[in-house]
Structure 1
């Protein structure tokens, strides 16, 4: 119960900035509730004075009263719904912005353990489900609760004995309604989790469409989607089943209440205790108050669904980033490019990937890292980018521990060219200036020239304004890589990280990219990870890693003379 209350409070804390809009809506709710109470009140003179006594003057007023009450109620309902929906939509917008902003701050480990499809589902589907609490539910709660309170007050004022008869059935209806709500919450949460899996399948299928087409596995992917979609349906079907039981339950219980009121009321009329108009007026009030009661029961079902979604959203918001700026973190204003790994030990889980690892690079030096898969090369790049913090030891730039620097200022002095050549569905110019948004067109073109990208850019119909598609799908592998290099050149960062930058290229493209990389590496401290040893033969130093340790270090020629691991790797690669 405390957990649910905390979730309610957290949801409505996002609506707090819009309290005056909600207050205006609440004021309009009084108009809606007052209209229903006025209708119940007017039944008495309508029956006693008009139908029984035949008051013709009153009959002339009836059409005006009907139109007037309907107009006032309709205007009040419009103001109430419009403003509460506006408040709800703004609060939902704030929640979605906060959720996305928080996911951007999460550490890389979180993205390794959580699929992007699952995160997408929480930001889109779960927040949409929460919208029902901050919009639809607020509308119904405000209007129906106020209406219920006003009608109950009027009913007790008119005849408290008959009203008590009407309320006998309410506790009997509340218990099963609450049980239904709990089941709806349980299956709704499971359904939202299944929707996350469904979104993940979609995201992977669309991202990997080339592989799917190449291997002819379309039917396999369709079967996977159908399987996950069926699982989602199984949970939603149970949610629908429980929700569908709510209305019949309330209909039966309210009919029992109305039957009690009629039986007791007719007996009171026969003995002359009340007039027929008073009985029908009270009966109208009872029938009218059952309507908001039934709507509130349905709202409880919606709330339970939204609570399941809210729990998933707040799970993400409560997931604290692993890597954060220290309270006294300083900005790295000027970076010379001195990099030091001092006795670093790091493990993703239990087994260390780097063990008591020490290495250094002087400003402008080119350091290559080679070794078998799993030796710790990419982990080296990740630690220097501060995707993770080491469990032991420290990583330093210009003698300053990375944990003492702000992450933003650190990344301003780093440039990464990754093997995954990620480009955005935007123009070529905007992809090049990504990370340097203030760069003018002349700087963009100069970066492209140094990256040897102008030859194919100039041939495109729209040149630098060409939209390159999702992940740069309209470009070849070598073209994408050169755009990434141009992006790094424009960044002008003193420390450059090249992680298998030519691994996926053919010989011709690799030669072009190598020329671009030569321009990029000029006057920068550069760390190169490469499986193709031909690309790092001219490095100032080569570090040979195995099982998280440096087993050899030297120039290309020195290492060949050692007849160690590097020599074996080189021989295996160039044997033919």
Structure 2
């Protein structure tokens, strides 16, 4: 565990290195703050001996000017130090959050199938937020208080090393409870960040599924679930507060013993005539000022333990390997003709077989449909073409190239996807259509919309193509959202098209319009269609019937009807439903 902490510090230092000049400037300003405190402590002795005891009123007139000057210098130094160290901390966390987001979106689909979206959101927002607050404070306080502690220690030992040594005896005693409390805080902080991740997950699910919640009238139930998740988070935070609050009183008691010993020994020396009042008060001032940095460093130690708990969760994500990535020497795939071949392909999720010994070929321009009961592996098959996952047996080839031997960017540049979820971004209609080709002109965007039969409803909107459609396209109907997704795929102009139940959630009127748009989209492209409604794939060049990951039948619609079997059963079930 200790090695893990060292590794986290090392990685944070690597993130801080680009901003070393800012940090160095802050450190220089810390020297000014420390020098100010040390000078104040040192001047107590002449003030007491020459002004209070000896009555040197000429010097007394200079004291106010001295105080104003030293505090002005200290204030300027503090401003420079805090500004540059806090902005350095912010920049470090900004880089870390960018890397965390960038790495997260590059992870394979398998990772996202295992990890809740709210958990990832919590790592990017909450965990980095905890680190951000702690790191900024930690850098400020460690720099300032450490330098101040060293300076005041020097003054105390310079004035009287025996009294200073007596004060220092108690400091090692205070370290043990501080370290023990810090470990507790770190453990509860990590668990607390997990709990806030569950709160974030609950929020994400609530706002994403608000229509279902409203439709079923389950607001009260969801409120209670949220209260419970929120209370779980509070339980861990309460523990952090408990141990954090315990440290300060313990430190106060321990340091008071050292201060009392210094005062008692100093008074005996004044009585013996071996020390002046000014010297004693100067040492006491240095020691009292010295204990303040010790207490602040104790608090910052606990803050750092919280930050380490959050940092462990952040670096866990950054250390998660990408299951799917470019091989060394991967080829850049040019625009392909569109031949897709599966050669005895097998795939398993965590050793659970999903696709078994699958072989078929889609020639350029073919429409190949995949049908079968739920869980048959249809979505996984098309995901293997896009390398959302890598096969565990056999090979998927495009124009003869194993998809694992080409770069992901060049592979996916040859693919366009229209999914049943019709995901749209909270941007303008034009930006959503050109999402796959950001360099496309307005004329090309409008032509794609026309071919998708979307231009009519777009032109009726108040701002036309510049209309912001709301989160997930909430301001549009299901059919309208689907036609925008088709326009996006048309503009992409990829030779291979994947349609994942693109009309399954639409009513009959919307389906008819979307089907016309799909017909335009499919022209001249190799198309892999996952179909729930068999009526939409009756004219496919080839239909693959899957069951439990195996290919159980293949042929045209008419051939499969004549053969009977699973396809005939699925067809009859849908026909009876319509009847």
Normalised by the length of structure 1, the TM-score is: 0.99
Q: CA deviation at 1:347?
A: 0.7
**Aligned 1:483-562 pairs, distance under 5 A:** 483-562=484-563
Superposition deviation, residue 46 in structure 1 = 0.2
SS at match of 1:551: strand
CA displacement at 1:334 relative to structure 2: 2.1
What is the match of residue 407 of structure 1? Answer: 408
Contact 1:26/1:142, CA 8 A, preserved across alignment: yes
Give me the whole-angstrom Cα distance separating, in 1, the residues matched to 2:138 and 2:426: 38
1:333 is matched with: 334
SS of 1:336's equivalent?
coil
> What RMSD, in angstroms, separates the aligned Cα atoms of the two structures?
0.8
Match of 1:53 in 2: 54
The answer (yes or no) to whether the contact 2:498–2:529 under 8 Å persists in 1 is: yes
Please tell me whether the aligned partners of residues 15 and 134 of structure 1 are also in contact (alpha carbons under 8 angstroms): no
- Aligned pairs for 1:69-148 (under 5 A) are 69-148=70-149
d(CA) in 2 for partners of 1:56 and 1:411? 85
Greater shift, 559-568 or 531-540, is seen at 559-568
How far 1:125 moved relative to its partner?
0.6
Tell me which residue corresponds to 1:253: 254
Alpha-carbon deviation of 1:349? 2.1
> 1:287-306 CA distances to partner (integer Å, 9 max, x unpaired)?
00000000000001100000
Distance in 2 of aligned mates of 1:153 and 1:171: 18
> Displacement, 1:550?
1.4
Cα distance between partner residues in 2 of 1:146 and 1:132: 22
| Native 8 Å contact 1:184 1:243 kept in 2 | yes
Give the Å deviation of 1:133: 4.0
Does the alignment pair 1:10 with 2:42? no
On the 8 A contact 1:40/1:285 being kept in 2, the answer is yes
Asked if structure 1 preserves the Cα contact closer than 8 Å seen for 2:338 and 2:398, the reply is yes
Do the aligned partners of 2:135 and 2:304 also contact (CA within 8 Å) in 1? no
- The Cα of 1:333 is off from its aligned counterpart by 1.4
Cα distance, 1:360 vs structure 2? 0.7
Give the CA deviation at 1:89: 0.7
In structure 1, the residue corresponding to 2:460 is in which secondary structure?
A: coil
Task: Indicate if the aligned counterparts of 2:135 and 2:307 stay in contact, CA closer than 8 A.
Answer: no
Extract unaligned runs of 5+ from structure 2.
none
- 1:548 shift after superposition: 1.4
Matches of residues 280-295 of structure 1 in structure 2 within 5 Å? 280-295=281-296
Q: Is the 8 A contact 1:343 1:358 kept in 2?
A: yes
Cα deviations across residues 362-411 of structure 1 (Å, max 9, x unaligned)?
11011111111111111111101101001110101000001111101111
- C-alpha deviation, 1:350, in angstroms: 2.2
Q: Deviations over 1:479-517 (max 9, x none)?
A: 000000000000000000000000000000000000000
Q: Could you give the per-residue CA deviations for residues 8-31 of structure 1, whole angstroms, max 9, x where no partner exists? A: 111121101111110111000000
Superposition pairs of residues 438-449 of structure 1, within 5 angstroms: 438-449=439-450
Q: Secondary structure of the residue that 1:433 maps to in structure 2?
A: helix
Local SS of the residue matching 1:77: helix
1:316 CA drift (Å): 0.3
3-state SS of the aligned residue for 2:397?
strand
User: Partner residue of 1:302?
Assistant: 303
2:545 alignment partner, SS class: strand
Q: For residue 342 of structure 1, what is the aligned residue in structure 2?
A: 343
Which residue in 2 is equivalent to 1:436?
A: 437
- 1:223 and 2:215 equivalent? no
Contact preservation (8 Å) 1:12, 1:134: no
Q: Distance in 2 between matches of 1:165 and 1:484?
A: 76
Separation of aligned partners in 2, 1:382 and 1:85? 45
Residues of 2 paired with 1:104 and 1:350: CA distance? 25
Deviation for aligned residue 1:564:
1.9
* 1:243 alignment partner in structure 2: 244
Superposed CA deviations along residues 118-145 of structure 1, whole A, max 9, x for unmatched, are 0000000100111134311000000000
Instruction: Identify the residue that residue 181 of structure 1 maps to in structure 2.
Output: 182
* Runs ≥4 residues deviating over 6 A: none
Mapped partners of 1:353, 1:118: distance in 2? 26
Q: Provide the rounded CA distance (Å) in 1 between the counterparts of 2:478 and 2:133.
A: 45
In 2, Cα distance between the equivalents of 1:554 and 1:168?
88
Is contact 1:427–1:468 with CA below 8 Å preserved after alignment?
Answer: yes
* Contact kept in structure 2, 1:198 and 1:229, CA below 8 Å: yes
Q: Does 1:466 align with 2:470?
A: no
**How many pairs are equivalent?**
576
Query: Does the 8 Å CA contact 1:132/1:303 hold for their aligned counterparts?
Result: no
Aligned to 1:418: 419
Q: Give 1:204's aligned residue.
A: 205
| Cα distance between partner residues in 2 of 1:140 and 1:153 | 19
Aligned partners of 1:550 and 1:185: how far apart in 2?
Answer: 53
2: CA distance, partners of 1:258 / 1:79: 33
Scaled by the length of structure 2, what TM-score is found? 0.99
Q: Structure 1: which 5+ runs fail to align?
A: none
Q: How does 1:63-74 map to 2 (within 5 A)?
A: 63-74=64-75
Aligned ranges 1:349-388 → 2 under 5 Å: 349-388=350-389
